[in-house]
Amino acid sequence: MADTDNIPTPQTPPPWASLSSKEEKQWGELDTIKLNNDKGWLKAYGHVVIVVTYIIASIFIVAFLILAFHYLAPNSWTWLDQSQINKIQSMLFSGSMGAIFINTMRTQLSKAI
């Protein structure tokens, strides 16, 4: 004979038993719960994309204003040397910053429509 006859029966349900009853109550609403979770994640992702878009646009605008200032102001007011100005020019006019910005905006606008 096996030792299974000597196993005592538990007096109280285990601590996780209340969680299983909650799951059973919500079993019919799982699709709604999943949909709400997905909406929450998409909303959070949308906020992150908006913040990153504003940061990239702000960097682009500040870099453009600094470049314009260095071309328009007298030499005694400028603080960047020619190599630094060339780096700003290559960043602004290479198209990579604009392409990233436009691609991000196009993706977000297509989701909104």
Helix and strand counts by DSSP (H, E) for the chain: 4, 0
**Does residue 67 lie in a domain region?**
yes
Mean pLDDT by 10 residues, the chain (113 residues): 68 73 76 89 89 87 92 88 89 77 78 67
**Does residue 86 lie in a domain region?**
yes
Note down the domain range covering 98.
30-112
pLDDT of res. 65: 94
| DSSP for residue 26 | T
**Does residue 16 lie in a domain region?**
no
Domain count for the chain, please give it: 1
Tokens of 35: 């949909």
Distances (CA, A) of 91 to 50, 53, 61, 94, 112: 22, 17, 12, 6, 30
The span from the CA of 13 to the CA of 42, in Å, is 39
**Does residue 19 lie in a domain region?**
no
